[in-house]
Amino acid sequence: MSSQLITDNAIVKDEWVTVIPPEAAKEVRKQAGKVVMFKLTGEDSPSEDQINATVLPESGKILLPLKVYLKNKDALKDRLANNEIGIWVDTHEEIESFKSEINDINQFPLIAVRVGKFADGRIFSIGTQLRIKFQYKNDLRAFGDVLRDQLFFLKRTGFNSYLIREDRDPHDALLALNDFSNPYQGAADNSNPAWKRFDRNQQGSD
């Protein structure tokens, strides 16, 4: 089976169709810090035009940009109840600002975060917030520039699903999930720090 998707420590077939809005007419400077804080872009990404131009597959499980979902919320009601709707955000988007429009975050069987560049570590805070602050319980996926060496960190910040970049071997990436056996700090995957997981007074170094 050829699949780039790892979910829960195994390579699995992707049941979801990821819907990507058409390219913006002109490039949006989304690499900047959060748009909201620095007002660097002055425009939203995806833009209203992009949202309107996005074509939704008529059946099956679809992973939609958050804003596309919100725009079509009423029409998608039944499919949501049917567990066919997932949402995704870019790392510059703030889930918090849309919280009022989503009554229950756990109604989505899948939430995904797209990371544009390996070095963009915002994805780790977004995962942590989803798990700890918003108490999201279902599948959490990373896609985009997802490579082996992010995986351990993604796992620890609450992601259980990783779509490995097309040109890399997911079998190779899978190995990274076990890079470290006993990390020091508590995080989204295991909230207890090492000193609560082990009796460190009993551990000898020799």
87/126 with CB nearer other proteins: 126
In the complex, minimum distance from the CB of residue 111 to other proteins, in angstroms, rounded to a whole number:
17
109/186 with CB nearer other proteins: 186
73/117 with CB nearer other proteins: 117
The footprint of other proteins (CB under 8 A) covers 29, 31-34, 37-38, 40, 118-122, 124-126, 128-129, 132-133, 147, 149-150, 152-157, 179-187, 191-196, 198, 200-201, 203-205
* Among candidate residues 112, 109, 52, the one with its CA nearest the CA of residue 80: 109
Alpha helices in the chain (DSSP H): 35-38, 48-53, 66-71, 77-81, 122-128, 151-156, 170-174, 194-197
In the complex, minimum distance from the CB of residue 128 to other proteins, in angstroms, rounded to a whole number:
5
Sign of CA dihedral 113, 116, 118, 124: negative
106/185 with CB nearer other proteins: 185
141 sits in the region (left: phi over 0; alpha: psi -120 to 50; else beta) called: beta
In the complex, minimum distance from the CB of residue 204 to other proteins, in angstroms, rounded to a whole number:
7
Placement of tokens 């992707």 in the chain: 14
What is the C-alpha separation between 131 and 128, in angstroms, rounded? 5
In the complex, minimum distance from the CB of residue 75 to other proteins, in angstroms, rounded to a whole number:
32
71/122 with CB nearer other proteins: 122
In the complex, minimum distance from the CB of residue 49 to other proteins, in angstroms, rounded to a whole number:
23
Strand partners, 17: 62
Report how far apart, in Å, the C-alpha atoms of 68 and of each of 17, 49, 127, 156 are: 14, 11, 21, 29
Q: Which two tokens stand for residue 96?
A: 């918090």
